[in-house]
Amino acid sequence: MTPDIRETQKVIDRIRTGGVTLEELIRFLANNAALIRANAVIAIGKQYSSVEAVTSLEQAATDNRNDVLLLGRSIRVLAIGSLLSMRRIEATEAAKRCISKLPSGQIENLSIHLQAEGLTLP
């Protein structure tokens, strides 16, 4: 493994084990590595439900850099799924705003992702 890959994997391992704060996860949303951003949006949705978490996921879901596909899902779609998994009114409203801005080609992708996660379109 190259040093960059090793460092990326270390960060992902920390995210997955819950060893990072919300502030760190929010910083990871700006990381150049798409895998780190993807893992951060998933972790925020699973571990936090604060206004700050909702706002950060909404920003990630509307960031064009997050159109990149990972295993058939864009990071934008993962962020919307994370918002809906919070099951909070504020998060659902944010998800609706994000869905309205989602490129039309990603709506089906979102629907498939939500179904796989046991969630529905709001």
Q: Could you give the CA distance from residue 112 to residue 21 in angstroms, rounded to a whole number?
A: 30
The pLDDT assigned to 3 comes to 61
At 43, phi and psi to the nearest 5?
-65, -40
Class of residue 116 by CB neighbours under 10 A (exposed 0-12, middle 13-18, buried 19+): exposed
Cα gap 108→76, rounded to integer Å = 13
Domain residue spans in the chain? 3-116
Q: Is the pTM of this model over 0.85?
A: yes
CA angle 34, 120, 111 (to 5 degrees): 50
Show pLDDT as tens, one digit a residue, over the chain (122 residues). Answer: 556 889 999 999 999 998 899 999 999 999 999 999 999 999 999 999 999 999 999 999 999 999 998 888 999 999 999 999 999 999 999 999 999 999 888 899 999 999 999 998 88
